[in-house]
Structure 1
Amino acid sequence: MTTAPQSASAPLYTQLTSPEAASDALVAALAECWTEVSDAGGAAGFPFPPVDPAEVAAAVDRLVTGLAPATSRLVVATLDGALAGWLHLRRDPDPLVAHWGTLHHVQTRLGVRGRGIGAGLVRQSRVIARDEMALEQLRLAARGGVGLEEFYGRLGWREAGRWPGALRLAPGDDRDEVLMVLSPL
């Protein structure tokens, strides 16, 4: 586990590269955050609130047990010792696509939104991807219509494509899936 420097009252960004790096308390906090974000309508892997906390806990366990320095890392942000947000940075080991990675489940606790934590997580992931994983680009898929294109755009990402109406949140509520890329890192 490595950490990024922090200043007074700033978030601490930490990456986890192995299952052993995740304490039981952190695993529980990750599941709590994911449940909170999903139940608030966030597009972090469980699109239909309310979510089943047991399903979320099982998904967190799968992510944590799959951590490996070359292919799968969690980047977490803590504020005053409490989890403020996290994301999953992943690379496919297939040599054809091993030069790029993907961000998944980018999320911050509702009570700390607007404080730059999500942007900090994305920036930290860029550094990790480039400097530690030797990746050349990052990709992600975001739900359209909620301002995520602008959020990622401010961080240097650009829209690479769009699947119109790919996501059906409810009858009559279809959203685009927006494909975004960050290159070069």
Structure 2
Amino acid sequence: MPEIAFIMGKSSSGKDSIFRMLADDKELGLCKVVPYTTRPMRSGETQGVEYNFVDDAQADRMAAEGRIIELRSYNTVHGIWRYFTADDGQIELGNGSRYIIIGTLEAYKKFLRYFGEEHIMPIYIEVDDGIRLERALERERRQQAPDYEEMCRRFIADCHDFSEENIAECNINKRYSNNAAIEQCLSEIRRDIGNMMIN
């Protein structure tokens, strides 16, 4: 039975909002796994909520200690930003707890290798690229210092990272459409998590 719900999707697919709502759902009772990043905190983010924000020296120490499950590095217009998940005691399989985490498709592959496919439920959020671009632009406009160049880089990179070939390689057979009201997508995911993970 899966113990980890793994949320993923391209940038501006709504995955962050869906992740927060599922993590806050008391009926589901999922334990939120907070990943790490070396990128700067954005407007509205809080340390230990969206990410554990660390510097490069801290990330290097954790890597040297063998505590990193998966790590991705992105060469952004601001330099290299790292995102990773650490084996830091947040996940303990077999103790009756159920977990929720958000990540990339590449991170999902590494979770499969680390924990085993039988322990993970993939939740892939899909949005039409035109709608996604509109949402990305609107989100960037709300930032204190909009960075449209980085927004475009992320948008283009996701087309490669979440290619149909990469999705098929991960045996992800179900997709959750978030083109319309987020509540519709959320309702379907809640039902599936309830059926597959909570019973």
Q: Which has the higher contact order (CA 8 A, sep 6+)?
A: 2
> Whose strand proportion is higher, 1 or 2?
1
TM score, norm. by length of structure 1: 0.32
